[in-house]
């Protein structure tokens, strides 16, 4: 059953678009979410605000698995942002950083996809439940896109490292 969007829900939706737009910009411009540049910092700030505002939005009236999921997304994103400072990880640092930030981006799309497909169009949503085939197929497509993108990012890191070591 579709629930009406409250003013806080509408605000949460708008705030939740910030990390999506910043993440897409980072992928297009830098081929990754890079927290050393403005768009990467906006991504993290938007992600934090999205998770914080999610705590006021609940169709069940309290804390639920979606809120815990948001905290996990934050842990993954900030893990990806700070792993580059862990020198004991050596050459793995850029790969782990790219994985954490890219995976957090993929994870942000999970609730967004579910909410969008179960609410749009308002008169007859494309999906009835989060487990509807259209939701699951869309999420599977996003997962494949994430995997291909992560492999490409790893290839770029490897190629860059190889060219640096050859000179």
Instruction: Render pLDDT for 85-108 as a digit per residue (tens, 0 to 9).
Output: 999 999 999 999 999 999 999 999
Q: What is the DSSP letter of 89?
A: G
* pLDDT surpassing 90 at residue 164: no
Q: State whether residue 97 is helix, strand or coil.
A: helix
- Per-residue pLDDT at 167 exceeds 70: no
What is the residue-averaged pLDDT of the chain? 92
| Digit-coded pLDDT (tens) for 53-65 | 998 887 666 788 8
Q: In what helix (H) or strand (E) does residue 45 lie, and over which residues does it extend?
A: helix 38-54
Cis peptide before 95 (omega within 30 of 0): no
By the 8 A CB rule, do 72 and 91 touch?
no
pTM summary value: 0.91
Q: What is the mean pLDDT of residues 36-52?
A: 97
What angle (nearest 5°) sits at the alpha carbon of residue 72, between those of residues 66 and 77? 125
Predicted pLDDT at 165:
66
pLDDT tens digits for range 109-143? 999 999 899 988 988 999 999 999 999 999 999 99
Domain ranges of the chain: 7-166
**How sure is the predictor about 2, in pLDDT bands with cuts at 50, 70 and 90?**
low
What does the pLDDT read at residue 166?
Answer: 65
């Amino acid at each position: 059953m579709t629930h009406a969007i409250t003013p806080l829900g509408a605000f949460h939706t708008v705030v939740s678009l910030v990390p999506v737009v910043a993440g897409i910009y980072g992928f297009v411009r830098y081929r990754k979410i890079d927290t050393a540049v403005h768009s990467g910092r906006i991504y993290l700030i938007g992600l934090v605000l999205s998770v914080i505002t999610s705590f006021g939005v609940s169709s069940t009236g309290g804390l639920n698995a979606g809120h815990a999921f948001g905290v996990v997304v934050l842990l993954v994103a900030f893990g990806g942002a700070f792993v580059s400072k862990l020198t004991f990880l050596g050459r793995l640092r850029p790969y782990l950083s790219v994985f954490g930030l890219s995976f957090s981006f993929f994870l942000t799309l999970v609730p967004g996809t579910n909410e969008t497909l179960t609410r749009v169009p308002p008169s007859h949503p494309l999906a009835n439940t989060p487990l509807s085939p259209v939701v699951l197929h869309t999420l599977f497509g996003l997962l494949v896109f994430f995997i291909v993108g992560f492999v490409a990012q790893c290839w770029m890191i490897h190629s860059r490292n190889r060219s640096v070591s050859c000179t």
